[in-house]
Amino acid sequence: GAVVSQHPSWVICKSGTSVKIECRSLDFQATTMFWYRQFPKQSLMLMATSNEGSKATYEQGVEKDKFLINHASLTLSTLTVTSAHPEDSSFYICSARDGQGIGGELFFGEGSRLTVL
């Protein structure tokens, strides 16, 4: 079945540095990918919709200058957390929908755990 892969699975960085997380659709093309954030004991919160070849669409309250999204190809979207601070520590999850699948199933990556010291 369709697979979405993220890298890295976990990362620790110092406050003020930037971190890039990659999301790849391995066996299907995804013109759109979605980025979620999940804090401990909470549900997934949609951050932004990544569109191949165009600007991402951010949800209300998500800073576009802090969370840079690039979707340069049909199989890769990246999320860069710029000038990270401890409050950005979270579990970041990407997803993509295989438009050819029955019902358009949404596939999720393994998630990336970011810890900002």
Partner 1 sequence: LAKTTQPISMDSYEGQEVNITCSHNNIATNDYITWYQQFPSQGPRFIIQGYKTKVTNEVASLFIPADRKSSTLSLPRVSLSDTAVYYCLVGPANQAGTALIFGKGTTLSVSS
> Burial, 104: exposed, middle or buried (Cβ in 10 Å; 0-12, 13-18, 19+)?
exposed
In the set 12, 72, 106, 117, which binds partner 1 (CB under 8 A)? 106
Judged by CB under 8 A, does residue 36 bind partner 1? yes
In the set 7, 31, 58, 62, which binds partner 1 (CB under 8 A)? 31
Give the whole-angstrom CA distance, residue 34 versus residue 32. Answer: 7
- Binding string, 59-78, against partner 1, x = CB under 8 A? --------------------
Nearest approach in angstroms of CB 95 to partner 1 is 7
In the set 13, 22, 66, 108, which binds partner 1 (CB under 8 A)? 108
Judged by CB under 8 A, does residue 89 bind partner 1? no
In the set 11, 13, 44, 76, which binds partner 1 (CB under 8 A)? 44
Cis peptide leading into 86, omega within 30 of 0?
no
Nearest C-alpha neighbor of 2 from the set 24, 21, 22: 24
Stretch that binds partner 1, among 13-21, 32-40, 63-71, 75-83 (CB under 8 A): 32-40
Strands 76-81 and 32-38: unpaired
* Beta carbons of 108 and 4 less than 8 angstroms apart: yes
* Beta carbons of 29 and 74 less than 8 angstroms apart: yes
For residues 13 and 108, which CB has a smaller minimum distance to partner 1 in the complex? 108
